[in-house]
Amino acid sequence: MNAEDVIECRVLTGFHCLPFAQYTTPHTNRRCEHEAGMTMIGASIGGRPVGLAVFSCQNDSEKASLESIFVHPDARRRGIGRGLLKAVHSTLVDMGAAEVGGTWFHDAPSAGLVERLLADSGWSDPVSTAMVHHCGRRILAHVDQNNRAARLPAGFAFDSWANLSSDERARVDELRETQEIPFGLHPNGESTLPVSPKTTTVLRHEGDIVGWMIHHELTPEMLRYSSLWLRPDLVGGGLGISVAIESARRHLALADQIPRLFFMVMEDNHAMHRFIARRLQPGLDRSSILMDSSKALIPASSDEK
């Protein structure tokens, strides 16, 4: 075997990450720079970067997440993907993780390749976990035209995230504990993407913040509608939908600058799936199923593949 055939997979740090950055998205590169627990593993042949796997492993979690895996098209079917996964597995075992999972869209061009690679490396059969809807101005106009202006009960008012004072932002932080808001529904659940200040809408009651629809800026042209939250005692009266509609109207006003959006609905949120089918379907451009697979991490040499 000559040097040109030797595949080397290693954890990357500092400037060693740079030649491999081309093998994942700008968003994942940003996360690697700014977010704790992100690790890049680079694959090289004869010193030439040919592939990259990125995983996230938080200190307080036994389950790690494979964020991205990519091998240069000219270097495929030579065991590099398998080698990257082996390196991911062994690095995670050393870090104390018990399981690794990963997600991808069923209709992504690479879905079949990733599925075959994961199956080859002993990951579980993929299951669908959520639906991700991609849309644009059409859905914003549809929502605007098909809903009357909200008539909020006395004492309630909408406001824009941009108008929150720093004291109020601190109170939003406190709400996570006092209201036991799941991390994913709280603005702090996202550490790298900025909140869209003008379209993100909060609901106030007598001045207090009691709900929100948070939008994050994925790119300058695309928002992720990340979380709709309402204080639990207010759920069920239609206020949540009103906040979502109001945020869509505020987004419509800026649709020339920010024309795209997407949002995710978990598989078991049947009420939301029914709502989307009845009320939003005509405005959707593309709906992708988010697939999920995982693998228990077994220390030492019993983890053959």
Query: What's the closest the beta carbon of residue 234 comes to ligand COA, in angstroms?
Result: 39
Sheet bearing 222-230, strands edge to edge: 7-12, 38-45, 48-56, 63-71, 99-105, 284-296, 127-136, 260-266, 222-230, 208-219, 201-205, 156-160
Nearer to ligand COA, 88 or 230 (CB): 88
Query: What's the closest the beta carbon of residue 32 comes to ligand COA, in angstroms?
Result: 14
Distances (CA, A) of 124 to 77, 89, 212: 21, 14, 36
Q: Which position among 21, 80, 202, 239 is part of the footprint of ligand COA (CB under 6 A)?
A: 80
Nearer to ligand COA, 118 or 258 (CB): 118
Q: How many residues bind ligand COA (CB under 6 A)?
A: 17
Q: Among all residues, whose Cβ is closest to ligand COA?
A: 81
Nearer to ligand COA, 70 or 229 (CB): 70
Kind plus residue range of the DSSP H or E element containing 229? strand 222-230
Query: What's the closest the beta carbon of residue 266 comes to ligand COA, in angstroms?
Result: 21
Cα 197 to Cα 193: distance, rounded to the nearest angstrom: 12
Query: What's the closest the beta carbon of residue 67 comes to ligand COA, in angstroms?
Result: 8
In a 3-state reduction of DSSP, which class is residue 104? strand
Within 160-219, the residues that bind ligand COA by CB under 6 A are: none
In a 3-state reduction of DSSP, which class is residue 194? coil
- 14's CB contacts (< 8 A; 6+ apart) are none
Within 84-123, the residues that bind ligand COA by CB under 6 A are: 110, 113-114, 116-117, 120
Q: Which position among 68, 200, 247, 294 is part of the footprint of ligand COA (CB under 6 A)?
A: 68
Nearer to ligand COA, 42 or 187 (CB): 42
Distances (CA, A) of 206 to 116, 150, 169: 55, 17, 17
Cα 80 to Cα 90: distance, rounded to the nearest angstrom: 15
Nearer to ligand COA, 54 or 143 (CB): 54
Residue-wise over 178-194: b if at least 16 C-beta within 10 A, else e? eeebeeebbbeebeebe
Residue 69 binding ligand COA, by CB under 6 A = yes
Query: What's the closest the beta carbon of residue 31 comes to ligand COA, in angstroms?
Result: 13
Nearer to ligand COA, 85 or 265 (CB): 85
- 190's CB contacts (< 8 A; 6+ apart) are 216, 226
Binding site for ligand COA (CB under 6 A): 68-71, 76-82, 110, 113-114, 116-117, 120
